Amino acid sequence: MLTFQGFSKSYADAPVLEIQQLTVPPGIHWVKGRNGSGKTTLFKVLAGLLPYKGDLFLNGTVALSQQPVLHRQHISFGEAEPLYPSFITGQELVNLFAKARQAPHGQAAQLAKALGAEEFLHKATGTYSSGMQKKLSLVLAFLGTPRLILLDEPLITLDTATVQAMYALIKACHGQGVSFLLTSHQDIEMPDLPLTATWLVQNQMLTLVTNA
C-alpha cells in the first residue's frame, strides 16, 4: 500500500526520520510513539504538507513527489489538533472539501450526522470547542474516495459515542478497500478495530511491533 525508498525528513540539519526501505501493506495500522518522536511529521509528509527526500509510493504506482495532484486526491489527513480560520463556517469548509474531492452526493451530510457534527456546522469555527473542531476534521478526512486516511491522535477530545461512530466508519471504509494509519503517544488498546499491524516511531525509524 505504502512504500518508502531512501526516505528521510530533517528540520535544518536535525534528522527526524530515516526509512531506507519499507512497505506498509493495506489495512488498519496503529502508529505509536512518544511526543516528539516524529509521528505527526510523518503524517504531514504523507499528506503532502512537508517536503522530504527519497521516494514514497502509494499502491506501487502513485509517486507522491511526482504526482502531487493524485497524491492529495488519494490521501486524506485528520489533524490531532485542527485549527481553522475563525470566520469560516464548518459547512463552508465541508462544501469546499466535498467539491475538491468530488465527494459522492449526500456523503457529507451522512458523515456529519454519523459524527454528531450536523448541529454546529452552520456556526463559525471560531466558536467551536476542541471536540467540535475534531469532529469537523474527521468529516473532512472521510470525504471523497481516498485510498489512505491518516488520523493523527484520533481519540483525543472525542466523547465515547463519537469514538464508536468513528470506529464504525473506519471499518466500513476498510471493507471498501480504504487503508488507515492512526497515531497515538499512549498505549491504547482498540479491540473494536481489526488492526492489521502496530508500528513504533522511535530513534528516527518506523518499526513493526506486531502483525495480525
Q: What is the pLDDT of residues 188-208, one digit of tens each?
A: 666 778 899 999 999 999 998
Residue 187: the pLDDT is 62
Nearest to 22 by CA among 8, 49, 2: 2
Range 118-143 average pLDDT: 96
Cα-based distances in Å from 116 to 5, 76, 121, 157: 40, 20, 10, 14
pTM of the model: 0.93
CATH of domain 2-84+147-211: 3.40.50.300
Cα-based distances in Å from 198 to 16, 144, 172: 20, 26, 20
Residue 36: the pLDDT is 85
Residue 197: the pLDDT is 93
Domain boundaries, the chain: 2-84+147-211
Q: What is the pLDDT of residues 39-92, one digit of tens each?
A: 999 999 999 889 999 988 888 777 777 887 777 788 999 998 899 999 999 999
pLDDT class for 155, splitting at 50, 70, 90?
confident
Residue 64: the pLDDT is 78
Residue 60: the pLDDT is 79
19 or 36: whose pLDDT is higher? 19
Helix (H) or strand (E) holding 45: helix 39-46
Letter string b/e over residues 15-38, b meaning 16 or more CB atoms within 10 A of that residue's CB: ebbbbeeeebebbbbbbbbeeebb
Residue 188: the pLDDT is 62
Residue 58: the pLDDT is 87
Residue 72: the pLDDT is 78
